[in-house]
């Protein structure tokens, strides 16, 4: 179907060391070259060698100095059809060739006249004959209007018509006067080689059916409409409207600054939050498996400044966010890489408050389907920089057979898919326990004479002391000031005949670890009772 196109021409100036007509290819002579072998290799008719000799003022055909520049008219150079290959594909895309449709795979080849339809939420990256890459995603429709290359010269003539959607182009450097890359929309845009830019059309928006956008990320693109021309430099964008005067390019919106993001994703429903950008009406978030974003796995356009990451298989990914202006021009972006390591899932830990040196207790965790091997880590700090245990186990429990220094410890568990540490999943939520030695409470005896009371207990090791309490009742709800005693007895006087209750516990002095309270003793007048 014939389509009306608004004329848009991009001017390319190729600077050479001598003046050559725009339609001439320039060849640099190397050691061993002569007019005949150059003609045989590059020209469509070897008999052009006489004209080449005359055009370049070569007195002796056999003598060519290395480094000599030869001008060769483009129409004399071999020319044949070029092909377009598929580098990567995610989701469904369709090729239409001579009225026949077929699904696109990485083996698909596009030729002149073919049409490519990219389904919503799908992405495909094409590689042209000159190694230029074009990434199409989310509902793009293009046709290949011209695909040819000039033999072995490296010059390729490519013209693609973008009917709907958006392309990201990573164009190779200019290789000669015959090189050309046109992306036609309701206008035509030609890249300067070595440029990274985006071209977009939104036919689904009835308010802007004849509007195109150009966004230059690297290099420069020159755009002309009618008798006016404008250069779109790196970091600038241009909105082009059919029938309206060409505007000056505007600076692209800056890349949104990410506030909340983790580069090691170990759980589902992970949030990404970024700062809003002034003048942004929406944002595009993309996740790809490569730094160039030629293999986009997921993307979303929205007005909010936060998203929940989608479900991704374990591996390395790259994320980028760009803001879209009121004119529909997409801004700059700063990609960040991250790792997904969710599987195998971590078990849930069964909390333990205390662990005693004298009576080791097992640390245990829940079962994980199809997982039989685990990594247990125990550390002195929450960041696990001071590891005391880092061990692989093949059960759902672990017993501390070797004593630790007394204190608080933190522990966590990770699942292993097999026995290989490379197949380790994320670590569990961290739990802690207090590692101590279990002290026996002292056994108290009472000796009284008149109003003088002596509390006696068995001798303690040098690193322990006694904490003594007295109270008017056996429930010790209202205690006197606690007494700290390091000897084997303590004496005090009764103030009156009211009963008094006494109890004590052993305390490990340096670690502030204590035993349970002892049974109490009761003193009432001349009577003493110890339970």
Q: Parallel, antiparallel, or unpaired for β 156-170 and 180-184?
A: parallel
Residue among 266, 239, 271, 268 at smallest CA distance from 252: 239
Q: Which of 135-139, 357-361, 446-450 has the lowest mean pLDDT?
A: 357-361
How large a percentage of the chain has pLDDT more than 70?
A: 92
**Three-state DSSP string of 197-220:** EEEEECCCCCCCCCEEEEEEEECE
| Confidence class for position 448, pLDDT limits 50, 70, 90 | confident
**Stretch 173-186: mean pLDDT:** 78
| CB of 344 closer than 8 Å to CB of 425 | yes
Report in angstroms the alpha-carbon separations of 300 from 78, 140, 217, 253, 292.
45, 15, 20, 18, 18
**Which has more confidence, 383 or 173?**
383
pLDDT, tens digit, 9 for 90 and up, residues 499-530 = 889 999 988 887 777 888 999 998 887 778 88
pLDDT, tens digit, 9 for 90 and up, residues 373-406 = 999 999 999 999 999 999 999 999 999 888 888 8
The CA distance from 137 to 226, in Å, is 31
List of E strands, 353-488: 354-356, 362-364, 373-379, 387-393, 397-399, 407-416, 424-427, 431-436, 445-449, 452-456, 464-471, 483-485
Mean pLDDT of the chain: 86
Kindly tell me the burial class for residue 243, based on how many C-beta atoms sit within 10 Å of its own C-beta (0-12, 13-18, 19 or more). exposed
CA 84 to chain centre: 30
pLDDT, tens digit, 9 for 90 and up, residues 213-269 = 999 999 988 777 667 778 899 999 998 887 788 889 999 999 999 999 999 999 889
**Stretch 21-43: mean pLDDT:** 83
The CA distance from 87 to 135, in Å, is 9
| CB of 140 closer than 8 Å to CB of 173 | no
C-alpha count within 13 angstroms, C-beta hemisphere, residue 198: 27
**Stretch 443-458: mean pLDDT:** 86
Domains delineated in the chain: 24-76 (3.10.350.10), 80-251 (2.60.120.1440), 258-340 (2.60.40.10), 354-436 (2.60.40.10), 445-530 (2.60.40.10)
| Confidence class for position 187, pLDDT limits 50, 70, 90 | low
The CA distance from 144 to 85, in Å, is 12
R_g of the chain computed on alpha carbons: 40
pLDDT, position 135: 95
């Amino acid at each position: 179907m014939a389509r009306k196109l608004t004329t848009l021409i991009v001017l390319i100036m190729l600077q050479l060391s001598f003046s050559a007509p725009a339609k001439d290819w320039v060849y640099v002579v190397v050691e061993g070259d002569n007019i005949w072998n150059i003609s045989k290799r590059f020209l469509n008719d070897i008999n052009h060698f006489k004209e080449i000799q005359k055009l370049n003022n070569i007195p002796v055909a056999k003598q060519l100095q290395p480094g000599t520049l030869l001008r060769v008219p483009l129409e004399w150079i071999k020319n044949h059809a070029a092909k377009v290959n598929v580098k990567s594909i995610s989701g469904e895309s369709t090729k239409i060739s001579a009225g026949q449709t077929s699904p696109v795979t990485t083996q698909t080849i596009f030729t002149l006249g073919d049409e490519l339809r990219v389904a919503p939420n799908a992405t495909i990256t094409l590689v042209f004959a000159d190694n230029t890459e074009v990434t199409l995603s989310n509902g793009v429709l293009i046709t290949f209007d011209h695909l040819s290359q000039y033999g072995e010269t490296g010059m390729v003539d490519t013209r693609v018509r973008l009917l709907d959607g958006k392309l990201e182009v990573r164009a190779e450097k200019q290789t000669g006067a015959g090189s050309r890359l046109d992306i036609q929309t309701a206008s035509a845009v030609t890249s300067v080689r070595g440029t990274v830019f985006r071209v977009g059309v939104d036919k689904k928006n009835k308010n802007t059916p004849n509007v195109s956008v150009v966004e230059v990320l690297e290099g420069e693109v020159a755009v002309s409409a009618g008798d006016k021309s404008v250069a779109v430099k790196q970091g600038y964008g241009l909105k082009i409207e059919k029938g309206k005067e060409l505007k000056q390019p505007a600076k692209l919106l800056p890349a949104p600054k990410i506030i909340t993001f983790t580069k090691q994703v170990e759980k589902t429903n992970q949030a990404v939050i970024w700062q809003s950008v002034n003048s942004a009406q929406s944002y595009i978030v993309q996740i790809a498996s490569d730094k160039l974003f030629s293999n986009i796995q997921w993307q979303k356009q929205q007005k909010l400044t936060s998203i929940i990451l989608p479900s991704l298989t374990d591996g390395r990914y790259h994320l980028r966010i760009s803001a879209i202006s009121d004119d529909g021009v997409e801004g700059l972006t700063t990609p960040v890489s991250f790792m997904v390591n969710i599987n195998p899932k971590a078990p849930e830990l069964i909390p333990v408050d205390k662990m005693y040196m004298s009576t080791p207790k097992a640390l245990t965790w829940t079962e994980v389907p199809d997982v039989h091997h685990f990594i247990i880590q125990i550390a002195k700090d929450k960041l696990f920089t001071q590891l005391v245990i880092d061990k692989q186990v093949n059960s759902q429990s672990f017993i501390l057979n070797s004593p630790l220094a007394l204190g608080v410890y933190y522990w966590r568990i990770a699942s292993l898919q097999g026995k290989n540490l490379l197949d380790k999943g994320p670590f569990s939520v961290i739990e802690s326990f207090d590692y101590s030695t279990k002290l026996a409470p002292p056994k108290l005896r009472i000796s009284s004479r008149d109003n003088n009371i002596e509390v006696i207990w068995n001798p303690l090791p040098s690193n322990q002391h006694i904490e003594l309490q007295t109270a008017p009742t056996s429930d010790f709800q209202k205690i006197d000031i606690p007494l700290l005693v390091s000897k084997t007895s303590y004496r005090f006087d009764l103030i009156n005949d009211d009963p008094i209750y006494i109890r004590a516990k052993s305390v490990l002095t340096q670690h502030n670890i204590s035993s349970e309270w002892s049974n109490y003793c009761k003193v009432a007048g001349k009577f003493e009772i110890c339970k």
